[in-house]
A and B are shown apart, each in its own frame.
Chain A
Amino acid sequence: MLEEFANREYEHGFVTDVEQESFPPGLDEDVVRAISAKKNEPEWLTQWRLEAFRHWQTMSEPDWPKVEYDPIDYQAISYFAAPKKKIASLDEIDPEILKTYKKLGIPLDEQKALAGVAVDAVFDSVSVATTYKEKLADVGIIFCSFSEAVQDHPDLVRKYLGSVVPYPDNFFAALNAAVFSDGSFVYIPKGVRCPMELSTYFRINASNTGQFERTLIVADEGAVVSYLEGCTAPQRDENQLHAAVVELVALDNAQIKYSTVQNWYPGDKETGAGGIFNFVTKRGICGKNAKISWTQVETGSAITWKYPSVILKGDDSVGEFYSVALTAGRQQADTGTKMVHLGKHTHSTIISKGISAGRGQNTYRGLVKVAKRAENARNFSQCDSMLIGSDCGAHTFPTIEIHNSSAQMEHEATTSKIGEDQIFYCNQRGLSTEDAVSMIVNGFCKEVFKELPMEFAVEAQKLLGVSLEGSVG
Chain B
Amino acid sequence: MGSEMTAFQPTFSKPAHANPSIQALRAAARTRFEALGFPTRRQEAWRFVNLGAVITTEFAPERPGTIDVTPWSLPESLTLVFVNGRFDPERSNLTQIPPGMVIKTLADALEDDKGVAQSHLGTSAAFDDHPFVALNTAQDLEGAFIHLLPGTDVEKTIHILYAGAGKNTVSYPRTLIVAESGARANIVESYVSEDQSLSCPVTEVAVAQDASIHHTRLQEEHLSANHLGSVAVNLGSNAAYQLSSINLGAAVARIDINVSLNGAGADASLDGLTLVGGTRQGDHHVRIDHKVGECTSTQRFRSVLDDESRAVFTGRIVVAEGAQGTDANQSSKSLVRSSDAVAFNNPQLEIYTDDVRCTHGSTVGRLDEEALFYLRARGIGRAEAEGLLTLAFAAEVLDAIPSKEIRTRLENLITTRLGTETG
Point out residues on A near B: beta carbons under 8 Å. Answer: 64, 356, 372, 385, 387-418
Contacts and interface: CB of A to CB of B under 8 A. Distances in A.
B187 interface: no
Given A405-B339, A406-B339, A415-B356, A397 B362 contact: no
B362 A399 contact: no
Interface residues of B, number: 37
B345 A392 contact: no
Q: Which 6 pairs between the two chains have the least Cβ-Cβ distance?
A: A387-B354, A405-B336, A396-B349, A400-B345, A411-B362, A415-B358
Interface stretch (B90-98, B135-143, B217-225, B363-371): B363-371
B362 A400 contact: yes
B361 A411 contact: yes
Contacts of B341: 405
Given A393-B351, A393-B352, A404-B339, A416 B357 contact: yes
Contacts of A406: 339, 366
A412 B359 contact: yes
A67 B366 CA distance: 37
B364 A402 contact: yes
B360 interface: yes
Contact of B358 (A397, A398, A414): A414
Contacts of A401: 342-344
B44 A64 contact: yes
B120 to A, nearest CB: 32
Nearest to B345: A400
B364 A409 contact: yes
B128 interface: no
A406 B368 CA distance: 10
B364 A400 contact: yes
Contacts of A385: 349, 351
A402 B343 contact: yes
Contacts of B324: 390
Contacts of B350: 393, 395
B364 to A, nearest CB: 4
B321 interface: yes
B118 interface: no
A30 to B, nearest CB: 35
Contact of B346 (A387, A388, A400): A400
Interface in B363-401: 363-366
A391 B352 CA distance: 7
Nearest to B306: A405
Contact of B351 (A395, A402, A405): A395
Contacts of A389: 354
Consensus secondary structure, chain B interface: strand
A416 to B, nearest CB: 5
Contacts of B362: 398, 400, 409-412
A417 B323 CA distance: 13
9 contacts: A372-B340, A394-B349, A399-B346, A400-B344, A407-B365, A412-B362, A413-B347, A413-B349, A414-B357
A398 B347 contact: yes
Nearest to A389: B354
B169 interface: no
Contacts of B348: 395-398
A413 B349 CA distance: 9
B338 interface: yes
B334 interface: yes
A393 B320 CA distance: 9
Q: Which of B344, B350, B354, B362 has most chain A Cβ within 10 Å?
A: B354
Contact of B349 (A399, A404, A407, A415): A415
Nearest to B362: A411
Nearest to B349: A396
A402 B361 contact: no
Contacts of B342: 401-403
B322 interface: yes
Contact of A391 (B321, B334, B343, B344): B321
B353 interface: yes
A387 B336 CA distance: 35
A412 B347 CA distance: 10
Contacts of A410: 361-363
Nearest to B361: A412
Contacts of B361: 410-413
Interface string B162-180: 0000000000000000000
A399 B344 contact: yes
A24 B368 CA distance: 64
Given A394-B351, A402-B364, A410-B363, A416 B346 contact: no
Contact of A390 (B321, B340, B343, B349): B321
A412 B360 contact: yes
Contacts of A411: 345, 347, 360-363
A394 to B, nearest CB: 5
B287 interface: no
B337 interface: yes
A390 B293 CA distance: 12
A416 B341 CA distance: 35
Contacts of A414: 357-359
A59 to B, nearest CB: 15
B363 A416 contact: no
A233 B388 CA distance: 61
B108 interface: no
B355 interface: yes
Most B CB contacts (10 A, CB to CB) among A372, A391, A401, A418 go to: A401
Given A400-B346, A404-B339, 9 more contacts: A388-B354, A401-B343, A402-B343, A402-B364, A405-B337, A406-B366, A407-B365, A413-B358, A415-B359
B358 A416 contact: yes
A417 B359 contact: no
A405 B366 contact: yes
Contacts of A403: 342
Nearest to A413: B360
B359 A413 contact: yes
A416 B356 contact: yes
Contacts of B355: 387, 390, 417
B354 A390 contact: yes
Contacts of B363: 409-411
A145 to B, nearest CB: 40
A387 B319 CA distance: 12
Contacts of B357: 414-417
B405 to A, nearest CB: 33
Contacts of B337: 405
A387 B353 contact: yes
B423 to A, nearest CB: 16
A417 B354 contact: yes
Contacts of A398: 345-348, 362
A368 to B, nearest CB: 9
Contacts of B351: 385, 387, 393-395, 415
A410 B353 CA distance: 26
B368 to A, nearest CB: 10
A398 B364 CA distance: 14
